[in-house]
């Protein structure tokens, strides 16, 4: 009898202790913060240190330390032979970089914005993406094209376009779009190590955002698999699939939906090509509803491709029509009030999710 009493007292004591331990663990894991800018910079630094074939080139990547300071400190550490400032000629330096990749070195090309990659698209598509196939596998093209993609703030139509769907439609390219610091570090390392050309789409507005990172993420060997999405938030009522900055919006929408009794699952795509269709379909087969979110144009977009995949593989599981949230089908306005109307907002995602759940939308 005394033993039973002692056991019950011990169990009651553990119940009081366990919440405190749980809080301590969550605090410990969240204590280490890293900005997306720092994550990208550290990934470049570590890969350059590990492999002498990796080098950087682009406008202002050296002396100015990058237009967004992603390459800060790398010129001083590795010298001008591995951190190359180029003239303002995207077609020129991209062609040089692709040619260098043919010979086995690993260029990382920075575009000040992916809008400027249009000047170099012939080299990206015809020279980089197709060469491995056209050479019967004899020539690999280990190159990364990186830089800010999509809308920033007040920079007008010619500096605000999202090119995820453009590049993801081309066989031979791998297209990655990080959201968090973990994504940025792990995916950039994966891209640099990959034998194929990688288009790495960052978001200017995320550079200064801080995210918690674990010791595993900070390890120099850390790398994320290309082609694998991450379930950022588990849920059972509706799936929200997004990439880049829109993942943050989707998570905020999920918090709002929770107050109305809707449990949303949020998928961070991470990889646009290859697309993790299995994770998306598995989620929809569980929740029976889908909302896709992107800030690009709606026609022929990433969301449209996801919808096609669901219709082809999981149509019988749907309890409601798929909802697509995308940017307005217009060039980006310069005026701030019109710009806000042209890109998806958290409330747009909330309304779409409620429609799929047949809830009243205010």
Partnered with residue 85 across adjacent β-strands are 58
Distance CA(149)–CA(159), nearest Å, equals: 9
Distance CA(172)–CA(349), nearest Å, equals: 33
Catalytic residue among 60, 159, 313, 347: 159
Partnered with residue 267 across adjacent β-strands are 231, 241
Partnered with residue 57 across adjacent β-strands are 84, 109
| Residue among 28, 37, 31, 30 nearest 209 (CA) | 37
* Residue 151: partners with Cβ closer than 8 Å, 6 or more residues away: 160, 162, 205, 295, 327, 332, 339, 342, 343
Q: In this structure, how many other beta carbons lie within 10 angstroms of the beta carbon of residue 135?
A: 12
Q: In this structure, how many other beta carbons lie within 10 angstroms of the beta carbon of residue 285?
A: 15
The size of the chain, in residues, is 362
Query: Residue 202 catalytic?
Result: no
Catalytic residue among 47, 59, 90, 182: 90
**Angle of the 346-356 helix axis to the 245-259 helix axis, nearest 10:** 50
Query: Residue 159 catalytic?
Result: yes
**DSSP per-residue string spanning 322-347:** -EEE---SSPPPSSHHHHHHHS--HH
Distance CA(37)–CA(57), nearest Å, equals: 18
Cα pseudo-dihedral 121, 124, 129, 135, rounded to 10: 110
Q: Are residues 226 and 190 in contact, defined by beta-carbon separation less than 8 angstroms?
A: yes
The DSSP output letter for 111 is P
Q: Which residue numbers are catalytic?
A: 90, 159
């Amino acid at each position: 009898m005394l033993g039973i009493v002692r056991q019950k007292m011990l169990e009651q004591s553990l119940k009081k202790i366990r919440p405190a331990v749980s809080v301590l663990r969550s605090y410990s894991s969240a204590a280490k913060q890293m900005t997306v800018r720092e994550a990208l910079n550290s990934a470049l630094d570590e890969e350059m240190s590990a492999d002498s074939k990796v080098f950087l080139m682009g406008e202002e990547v050296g002396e100015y330390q990058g237009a967004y300071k992603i390459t800060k400190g790398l010129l001083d550490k590795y010298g001008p032979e591995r951190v190359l400032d180029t003239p303002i000629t995207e077609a020129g330096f991209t062609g040089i970089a692709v040619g260098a990749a043919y010979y086995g070195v690993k260029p990382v090309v920075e575009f000040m914005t992916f809008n400027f990659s249009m000047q170099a698209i012939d080299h990206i598509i015809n020279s980089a993406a197709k060469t491995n196939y056209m050479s019967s596998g004899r020539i690999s093209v280990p190159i990364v094209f990186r830089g800010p993609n999509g809308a920033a703030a007040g920079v007008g139509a010619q500096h605000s376009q999202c090119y995820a769907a453009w590049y993801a439609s081309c066989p031979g390219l791998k297209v990655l779009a990080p959201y968090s610091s973990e994504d940025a570090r792990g995916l950039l390392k994966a891209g640099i190590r990959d034998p194929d050309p990688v288009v790495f789409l960052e978001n200017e507005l995320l550079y200064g955002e801080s995210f918690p990172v674990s010791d595993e993420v900070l390890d120099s060997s850390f790398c994320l698999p290309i082609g694998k999405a991450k379930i950022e938030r588990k849920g059972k009522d509706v799936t929200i699939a997004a990439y880049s900055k829109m993942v943050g919006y989707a998570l905020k929408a999920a918090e709002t939906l929770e107050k109305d009794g809707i449990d949303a699952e949020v998928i961070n795509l991470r990889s646009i090509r290859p697309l993790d269709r299995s994770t998306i379909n598995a989620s929809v087969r569980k929740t029976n509803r889908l909302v896709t979110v992107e800030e690009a144009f709606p026609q022929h977009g990433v969301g449209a491709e996801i919808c096609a995949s669901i219709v082809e593989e999981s149509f019988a599981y749907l309890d409601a029509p798929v909802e697509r949230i995308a940017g307005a089908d217009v060039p980006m306005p310069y005026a701030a009030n019109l710009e806000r109307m042209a890109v998806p907002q958290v409330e747009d995602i909330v309304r779409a999710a409620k429609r799929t759940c047949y809830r009243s939308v205010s």
